[in-house]
Structure 1
């Protein structure tokens, strides 16, 4: 596969993790600019997550039906417009609307990109080199997004984190139109857009997911118990409808026939729950309990992002030679080791000890990301790669939000004992992931 082809896809896929992480350092500026409290400003984060959770599988479905190149380019255009408009917003609500549009637009790149790779390589083994490039781009943009965001806010204020997307999306869009092969023309049979997209299925899926995630986000402070009946009704209705409609948005029967794909999505959610348990929980403990500054806490967390990026090429070679099972096994063992090492952190632990724990937790990040992407590629049906990739990203957000809810429940107030309670949950899930990696049937090695 041509390197420029993969590079263009990777450029688009980094937009989602970049914009989901840059916002963290701009929240205070946005609060002051629009005179809102932290609870209101935090909807710029929660709203992005919720929109992306629904947007990823939706964009994947549209890519499968109407062409991944079209959807990839459309997503870039949406991000460009939303990012250009946000700095001129007259009020906070408009900024929030632009963030939601950003989430939907950036949700197109990964599922459409994976569908483009599938179209270029056929139904053979997953191309480890291409998937490794995408994994590095995603890990680097997520890990270093706050650093870039801090620089942009310092020099351009909060509008900087929006405006940086304009040249990036324009360049990527031009390259995509030049490099990516065109889609087949939409036939008359595909022109029934509303019927093929299953709007009722999308509505029920969105209701289930938004209700569940809204409940989890509110759980630590003000549980919204009334959301649970809504989730139950939407979930039951979703399964009932999808089993009966000829063109389901969520192929329930397909999941029943493909336990491998279901397993990959479950592994993704569990791995992200464990990873974000420390990624979110450790900085809170460092700043609130150990009284490190934000900059110092960020430096102590740096090994998690840096080693995850550095290990990814090694993981790609392992996938190319052995398939996804070995990287996932090594990554799960690393997560378990790191989770157990969190128990060694106390109020008197020196910085070098904290850096050591962060390093151990960073190593499995690259292994798991690469192994999961390769496993997804192997398990996804060729004509449903976009939808499967979208659900894969949704599972990532579900795991992250579950982790956020867990931290809110057990790390208030931040203390070493609270951190150890989080480590207990992390260790249990990491042990289950080790068992899952051992018992998973071996898949074919990936293509180079």
Structure 2
């Protein structure tokens, strides 16, 4: 009885910083969805150009997440967390005063790099607390992180609409200034201090990081503009990717240990699921939001209001499912929810009753609440404990690859106007991705053996 009473538990003082840091990226990912049309009107830019505001953030974050994650694995979360959140505040100021679309895109790039530290830092802190306490039972904290991310991700459009109604689209950028200030204060006061050992610096694989960045950049630039005129980009991706693989297999301290990763088929399958899951999620987030404003005629605030059912459903589903072990059932149910929502999307027109839009949002809340939680928990239990932060960063990278595909599909489907025909084309793309997600999950037998707390 005495041992149980004196047994150290998870340091709950870390939670506010962990949760705030981890939500900086999803809030900037989603709040922009209802701001794209007002920004386009204000700056004279069509949807095909404002789509770069989405792509720029994901390009920067896709590159930065695994790099920052690896730095956190080596040096601890505190320094990277404070540096990243400071960059978020700077990006908020730049976006709030931006005179044109080019500067806005630059602000989104800074936001992408600045928000890279929050989620890997949270996962690293979770692992270090498990080692300190001797209990690898992160069920409650993983659920709290997932719920925080779900809340922000889904409430983002509503918050964005409210901010636009009060202070215009620039307010969606200015919001980052107080958020960053709060994160810096919490990080400074609560996150444990670390000492950098000279040996840690020698473990940095800078050439590997550079080749990884070049590979991913060429791939994502092609995904943003898949055209015959950009044929050289996939060729460059293969060539530089090959050089990256050779480098990582030969160096004693690789940036991404391809030997371990290549032998971890369940983790690779999780990353693949993340790609297709986020194709559906972000195509809906951006495409549906743009269509409700331009194709259906709602204001930015009302477009966010329509998604409240998704917010409520996702939060409730995350809380309830977070208490249950295993992930396979969650992933399968999430896949079915995605497919059902896409089918309903195909029936919508500019004259559909408003309740049908609410119904679509309600259905999408189910996979929104299940998939992210299950994917996050899968990575925690499937990854090498010494590379928890970088593995978590890679999960976000694969998710952002999916979001880039979604952004490209949205721009190609809509063209100059977000009309109903374009939305239906996008829905077919989403349906194909949802079907693939279901198949990948059905045939992954390793999920049945994943019985960690979820």
RMSD of equivalent CA atoms: 2.9
Q: Would the aligned equivalents of 1:118 and 1:385 in 2 still touch at CA under 8 Å?
A: yes
Alignment of 1:22-421 (within 5 A): 22-26=31-35, 37-38=45-46, 42-84=51-93, 86-87=95-96, 95-122=104-131, 125=136, 127-183=138-194, 185-192=195-202, 196-219=203-226, 224-318=230-324, 322-346=325-349, 349-410=352-413, 419-421=423-425
Q: Would the aligned equivalents of 1:83 and 1:98 in 2 still touch at CA under 8 Å?
A: yes
Unaligned ranges ≥5, structure 2: 1-9
Tell me which residue corresponds to 1:440: 445
Separation (CA, whole Å) in 1 of partners of 2:247 and 2:190: 40
Structure 1 range deviating more: 85-94 or 169-178: 85-94
Secondary structure of 2:390 counterpart = helix
Separation (CA, whole Å) in 1 of partners of 2:423 and 2:164: 31
Assess, with a 3 A threshold, how the Cα gap between structure 1 residues 145 and 358 changes in structure 2: closer, same or farther: closer
Secondary structure of 1:388 counterpart = helix
Secondary structure of 2:254 counterpart = coil
TM-score by length of 1: 0.87
1:153 positional shift? 4.0
Separation (CA, whole Å) in 2 of partners of 1:32 and 1:433: 36
Tell me which residue corresponds to 1:431: 435
Q: Would the aligned equivalents of 2:310 and 2:361 in 1 still touch at CA under 8 Å?
A: yes
Secondary structure of 2:323 counterpart = helix
Q: Would the aligned equivalents of 2:33 and 2:290 in 1 still touch at CA under 8 Å?
A: no
Separation (CA, whole Å) in 1 of partners of 2:146 and 2:215: 29
Assess, with a 3 A threshold, how the Cα gap between structure 1 residues 355 and 154 changes in structure 2: closer, same or farther: closer
Tell me which residue corresponds to 2:6: none
Alignment of 1:13-24 (within 5 A): 13-24=22-33
Q: Kindly tell me the number of residue pairs found equivalent between the two proteins.
A: 439
1:402 positional shift? 1.1
Q: Would the aligned equivalents of 2:410 and 2:426 in 1 still touch at CA under 8 Å?
A: yes
1:197 positional shift? 2.7
Unaligned ranges ≥5, structure 1: none
Q: Would the aligned equivalents of 1:7 and 1:133 in 2 still touch at CA under 8 Å?
A: no
Secondary structure of 2:435 counterpart = helix
Secondary structure of 1:219 counterpart = coil
